[in-house]
Amino acid sequence: MNQPIRYIIAIRPPVDIIAEVKEMKQALKKAIGGFYNSVNSEAHITLFEFYAYDEHYPVMVKELTRAVGMLDPFELEFHGFNHFLASGAFYVHLTSHSSRSIIERCIRFRQVLSPEILSIHIEGWTEMFDTPHMTIGRRLQPHWIDIAYSLFKDFNAKFWCDSLAIRKFNDDRKQFDVVVELPMLGAGFKSGPTS
């Protein structure tokens, strides 16, 4: 039976940050003695999650491209680490200015998306941008979080964020694959009507 596919919309950092986060994940895996949630996930900042059927993908991606195109690019900066005790997540922390910039763009993105296309072509839309972060590990035991803090003392990086990525769940690998990156073209971007 045809099942809807899980997607996320995310910020994908440049390859050097992706590589650095991958090294941190592997170091934590070695230090705690094995697998943990998100150890194999490529570095990203999740903004939205949804489900869609294959036949709805062309209309969906056209609308998402239009909406992302209306967003202004911005500088995004990471500084240090933090964690969520309730979910056991340890993550790379964003500066407060960068967090606000992400939240503002997500709200704008949601405002310009076609409600009709969302209701017809997309299921289970979930907004996940209230506390933007780049996860190192999820569902970590408290002493694993302590180990992470002992391993990783500092993280400072910045980059120009000018696109959002659509990531599709790969059922074979049990990970998300980037299927398309949508450019942020700015407030002056003019697009035709959606269909």
Structural domains of the chain sorted by starting position, each given as residue range(s) with its CATH number in brackets = 5-183 (3.90.1140.10)
User: What is the per-residue DSSP string for 5-25?
Assistant: EEEEEEE---HHHHHHHHHHH
Q: How far is Cα of residue 120 from the mean position of the Cα atoms in its chain?
A: 24
Q: How far apart are CA 155 and CA 107, in angstroms?
A: 27
Those residues of the chain that have pLDDT short of 50 are 191-195
Provide the token pair at 137.
């590990």
User: What is the per-residue DSSP string for 85-123?
Assistant: TTTTEEEEEEPHHHHHHHHHHHHHHHHHS-HHHHHHH-E
Encode pLDDT of 95-107 as tens digits: 999 999 999 999 9
Q: How far apart are CA 128 and CA 186, in angstroms?
A: 23
174: left (phi over 0), alpha (psi -120 to 50) or beta: left
Q: What percent of the chain has pLDDT over 70?
A: 95
DSSP-H helix ranges across 48-95: 57-69
Encode pLDDT of 35-60 as tens digits: 999 999 999 999 999 999 989 989 99
Q: How far apart are CA 60 and CA 152, in angstroms?
A: 39
Predicted confidence at residue 187, as pLDDT, reads: 67
